[in-house]
Amino acid sequence: DRLKEITGQDVPLFKVDMCDDKAVDELFAAQKFDGVIHFAGLKAVGESVAKPLFYYENNLVGTLNILKAMIKHQCKAVVFSSSATVYRPCEEALDEEKPLGCSNPYGWTKYMIEQIMMDTAKANKEMKVSILRYFNPVGAHPSGRIGESPSSFPNNLMPFVQQVAVGRREFLSVFGNDYSTPDGTGVRDYIHVDDLAEGHICALKKIMSNDGGCCLVHNLGSGTGYSVLDMVKAFEKASGKPVPYKIVDRRPGDLATVIANAGKAKQDFGWETKRTLEDMCNSAWKWQSENPYGYDEPPADK
């Protein structure tokens, strides 16, 4: 219903378990798909450490089923939602040539799927593959009708900030303030989800315009870093609400700075970010304030 409000048209939805190879095959047999944008997968780093087999099975088996169905039913273009977690730790801006290496099962599933996609493209000369490694998506659709709604404990910074602002959480935990950054908190490259969505469209158009098969890899990021406290202050300004926080110990493995070099995406298909930090925070606040419990109903006692 929300998609129809925004787009003005019905958007068909088929609920299929991508780990069910028969169900995936039947969907591709029943529908004519020109291309696939593959977002589906588990994505909580901490959970992946606790439940590695769950992550490997879901993310890898699901992708294999999708690729097998694509090949069988002559669907030749796929854009894969990868992640900056495939890169080895590095304090420099990350371009696509930086060394790869992962520190958790979630990251390894992304890395392995990239390899599967590359090998599939080599073996199937008409297969067109785009791998997009993105950094830290934030924000929401400007209508306030679609946004991030974690099904359980949030795994990213901004949902925590938003939930503190609407009173669902008492304070934000900031993991360390002794990094070698301007204010001591970790610096990350944040990208508005609308910019990210446009990047996927650009990437799909790029590979579909290619005469033969291909496998392209691009970063999607802004190239600008903001600290945790930068994000808190920007969100306080956008919302007019205080976001109390407490400094706690660093998390193992966290780096001081992680920023993208996304120049290749601009060069190859003309994509670059357009939205500002203010846009990210304004849209996130509109979404959270109008939907304090996301897509869920408020608790009965509220």
Q: What is the pLDDT of residue 300?
A: 65
DSSP SS3 for 102: coil
Name the β-bridge partners of 81. Answer: 132
Q: What is the pLDDT of residue 302?
A: 55
Position 250 confidence tier, pLDDT thresholds 50, 70, 90: confident
* Strand (E) or helix (H) holding 38: strand 36-38
Dihedral of alpha carbons 190, 113, 93, 247, sign = positive
Question: What value does the mean pLDDT take over residues 165-187?
Answer: 93
DSSP SS3 for 96: coil
**pLDDT digits over 114-131, tens only?**
999 999 999 999 999 999
* Tokens encoding 128: 């067109």
**Angle 228-239/157-165 helices, nearest 10 degrees?**
40
Q: How far apart are CA 244 and CA 172, in angstroms?
A: 6
User: Got the DSSP string for 159-203?
Assistant: HHHHHHHTTSSS-EEEE-S-SSSTTSS-EEEEEEHHHHHHHHHHH
In terms of residues, how long is the chain? Answer: 302
Q: For the CA atoms of 103, 262, 123, 99, what is the dihedral angle to 10 degrees?
A: -40
Q: What is the pLDDT of residue 152?
A: 64
Q: How far apart are CA 68 and CA 71, in angstroms?
A: 5
- CA neighbor of 137 nearest in space, from 244, 284, 245: 284
* Tokens encoding 277: 């930090």
Give yes or no for residue 21 having a pLDDT over 70: yes
Domains of the chain: 2-290 (3.40.50.720)
Q: Is residue 106 annotated as a catalytic residue, yes or no?
A: yes
User: Got the DSSP string for 200-243?
Assistant: HHHHHHHHHT-SS-EEEEEEE--S-EEEHHHHHHHHHHHHS---
**pLDDT digits over 80-97, tens only?**
999 998 998 887 899 999
Q: How far apart are CA 6 and CA 68, in angstroms?
A: 33
Q: Which of 55, 87, 106, 190 is catalytic?
A: 106
> Do residues 96 and 106 lie in contact, with contact meaning Cβ atoms separated by under 8 Å?
no
| Direct distance between the N- and C-terminal alpha carbons of the chain, in angstroms, rounded to an integer | 25
* Tokens encoding 146: 């679609």
Q: How far apart are CA 235 and CA 224, in angstroms?
A: 17
**pLDDT digits over 129-143, tens only?**
999 999 999 999 999
- CA neighbor of 157 nearest in space, from 294, 280, 301, 240: 280
**pLDDT digits over 253-276, tens only?**
778 888 999 999 999 999 999 999
Q: What is the pLDDT of residue 212?
A: 85
